[in-house]
Structure 1
């Protein structure tokens, strides 16, 4: 991809900084502007419940992977058909910005939502343990990703077919891997919605008990 913006060249490892910048800008904007507006509409504290924010985080994660797959499909097509004399595909690196912005939304809604949920709904003596589950979730996700990568390597690239995760990304089919992850994330979101609809918030349950 073309990493030049004018006379400035973006380092390949610095593209993900878009996510951090977006979080730094949008998070206070959400808290100060969007959340009060949503409170007036939904009559709900902070505009959305914690489970609704978590659900939006899951949805943003799915969209980010789908967008990543579509961009990769486009990039691969250009790389294989329109590579210029310098060997650089005529596609700007800023095409990656939408997926990093969606990842930022995933953290703004999902990660923050999980933290608020654990702090509000967990017993006082278990808040630290509950919040540690978020880190455990991330580590489990990393291990699951490695497991999926190994499966993809095992079942693709046989009988003369190209490995989806070939070291030469112009030969591989990385977008297929993205779409598989998106499909699994969609199943996870469906299960989350199923559980969220049946969850009773602590304050509501205590009020009903009284």
Structure 2
């Protein structure tokens, strides 16, 4: 969620530079350092490391002894399904925002788009995901130690 907020802030800054330099309708690079993307990639990488370790630990501890490999495989299938869902969401956003002659949030020329809105929407979905996770985690009962 913090990575998406960071990406939205950087994209908003990039769009402001685009406006100030008069590059909105030109398909050219914006004079902005690529290092602005560093914080969001750091946050995303740290989140993936911590979540994958926690996911592995959870499935190893909570699955029956004879099903640990299968449960680990299901966790990886879950990650791949999430990636497909992200692609589907991206397609839906473009479909719903590019109506009525509008270019939408994610046009071919990003200088004319609003990718920052997409990042904020993804941050909102991440917040919703965290709330559902906390709801489920509070009701989870750990496996009995054998």
TM range (shorter): 0.7 to 0.9
Report Cα offsets for 1:98-122 as digits up to 9, x if no partner: 0111012112210111011111111
Which of 65, 76, 83 is the equivalent residue of 2:15?
76
Is the CA contact 1:69–1:175 (under 8 Å) kept in the aligned structure 2?
A: yes
Which of 107, 110, 114 is the equivalent residue of 1:169?
110
- Cα displacement (A) at 1:88: 4.1
- Cα displacement (A) at 1:162: 2.6
1:119 aligns with 2:60: yes
Which of 139, 155, 158 is the equivalent residue of 2:99?
158
RMSD: 1.9
Report Cα offsets for 1:80-135 as digits up to 9, x if no partner: 32269xx5423211110001110121122101110111111111111111111222
Unmatched tracts of structure 1, length 5 or more: 1-61
Name the SS for the 2:129 alignment partner: helix
Which of 118, 133, 136 is the equivalent residue of 1:192?
133
Report the TM-score, using the length of structure 1 for normalisation.
Answer: 0.62
Report the TM-score, using the length of structure 2 for normalisation.
Answer: 0.87
- Cα displacement (A) at 1:206: 4.2
Number of residue pairs aligned between Structure 1 and Structure 2: 142
Once residues 140 and 77 of structure 1 are traced to their aligned partners in structure 2, the CA distance between those partners, rounded to angstroms, is: 35
Instruction: Summarize the Cα distance change of 1:146–1:104 in structure 2 as closer, same or farther, 3 Å threshold.
Output: closer
Once residues 191 and 149 of structure 1 are traced to their aligned partners in structure 2, the CA distance between those partners, rounded to angstroms, is: 22
The structure 1 segments of at least 4 consecutive aligned residues displaced by more than 4 Å after TM superposition are none
Once residues 159 and 198 of structure 1 are traced to their aligned partners in structure 2, the CA distance between those partners, rounded to angstroms, is: 45
1:90 aligns with 2:90: no
Name the SS for the 2:110 alignment partner: coil
